C-alpha cells in the first residue's frame, strides 16, 4: 500500500499545484468552517430535542396505560360507587388544600408525618384496585377501598386538630413570654 502511494505521487509529480492561495483565503476558509459548525450544532441539537421529547411522551403514555391496566377504581364498579369515590376524593383534596394553607416551617414536621401516612394508605389503595380487578368486584374489597378513603380523611382531620392544638400552644407560649 505504501509503495502504491509513493508511485502515485511520483507519477503525478508535475501536476501538483504549488501556487499560493489568494489573499484572505485562510480567513474566508476559517469563517466558512465556523458558520458550518454552528449550523450543524443547532440542527443536530434540535433533532436530539425532538427525539428526546418523543421518547418521553411514549414513556408517559406507556406508564399511564400501565397504571390504568393494573386495577379497577370504585368508579369502574357502578355509578353509585363513582359518586362515593368522587365524594371522598373531593373531601380529601379540600382537607389537603386547607392544610397547605396553614403550613409553616414550625408545623412542617407534623404535616410531613401525616402525608407519609397518606402515602402508605394510597399505596394500599393501589393494591386494593388490583385485588378488585382480580376478584371480580368482590364486596369485601369494595368495602376495604371505602374504608381506605375514610382512613385517609381521618388522618387529615386528625392533622387539622393537631395543627389547631399546635397553634394554640404557640399562642399560649407567646402570651406567657409577654407576662
pLDDT digits (tens, 9 = 90+) for 41-60: 455 555 666 666 677 776 77
The length of the chain, given as a count of residues? 179
Residues 90 and 154 in one domain: yes
Q: Is residue 149 part of a domain?
A: yes
**CA 174 – CA 40 distance, rounded (Å):** 66
Cell of 82: 363513582
Q: Are residues 35 and 96 in the same domain?
A: no
- pLDDT value at 85 more than 80: yes
Q: Does 158 share its domain with 83?
A: yes
**Residue span of the structural domain in which 58 resides:** 28-70
Would residue 9 count as lying in a domain?
no
Q: Is residue 80 part of a domain?
A: yes
The pLDDT score that the predictor gives to residue 23 is 81
Does residue 156 contact residue 92 with C-beta atoms inside 8 Å? Answer: yes
Q: What's the angle, vertex CA 142, arms to CA 94 and CA 140, rounded to 5? A: 140
**Domain end call among 70, 86, 120:** 70
Instruction: Select from 42, 45, 64, 41 the least CA-distant residue to 53.
Output: 45
Nearby residues of 88 by Cβ (< 8 Å), 6 or more positions away: 146, 149, 150, 152, 153
Q: What one-character DSSP code corresponds to residue 6?
A: H
Least confident stretch, 3-7, 20-24, 67-71, 142-146: 67-71
Q: What is the pLDDT of residue 64?
A: 58
Instruction: Indicate whether 81 and 157 sit together in one domain.
Output: yes
Please indicate, yes or no, whether the overall pTM of this predicted structure exceeds 0.85: no
Q: Which residue, 2, 144, 19, is CA-closest to 72?
A: 144
| pLDDT at position 38 over 60 | no
pLDDT in tens, 125-144: 999 988 888 887 788 988 99
Query: Which of 46, 70, 94 is at the close of a domain?
Result: 70
In a domain? residue 128: yes
Amino acid at each position: 500500500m505504501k509503495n502504491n502511494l509513493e508511485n502515485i505521487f511520483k507519477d503525478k509529480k508535475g501536476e501538483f499545484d504549488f501556487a499560493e492561495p489568494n489573499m484572505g483565503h485562510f480567513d474566508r476558509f476559517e469563517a466558512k468552517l465556523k458558520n458550518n459548525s454552528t449550523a450543524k450544532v443547532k440542527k443536530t441539537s434540535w433533532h436530539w430535542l425532538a427525539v428526546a421529547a418523543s421518547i418521553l411522551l411514549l414513556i408517559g403514555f406507556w406508564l399511564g396505560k400501565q397504571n390504568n391496566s393494573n386495577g379497577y377504581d370504585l368508579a369502574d364498579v357502578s355509578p353509585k360507587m363513582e359518586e362515593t369515590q368522587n365524594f371522598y376524593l373531593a373531601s380529601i383534596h379540600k382537607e389537603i388544600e386547607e392544610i397547605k394553607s396553614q403550613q409553616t416551617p414550625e408545623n412542617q414536621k407534623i404535616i410531613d408525618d401525616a402525608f407519609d401516612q397518606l402515602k402508605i394508605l394510597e399505596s394500599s389503595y393501589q393494591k386494593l384496585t388490583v385485588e378488585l380487578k382480580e376478584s371480580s368486584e368482590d364486596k369485601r374489597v369494595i368495602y376495604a377501598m371505602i374504608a381506605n378513603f375514610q382512613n385517609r380523611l381521618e388522618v387529615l382531620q386528625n392533622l387539622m386538630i393537631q395543627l389547631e392544638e399546635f397553634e394554640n400552644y404557640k399562642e399560649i407560649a407567646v402570651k406567657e413570654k409577654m407576662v
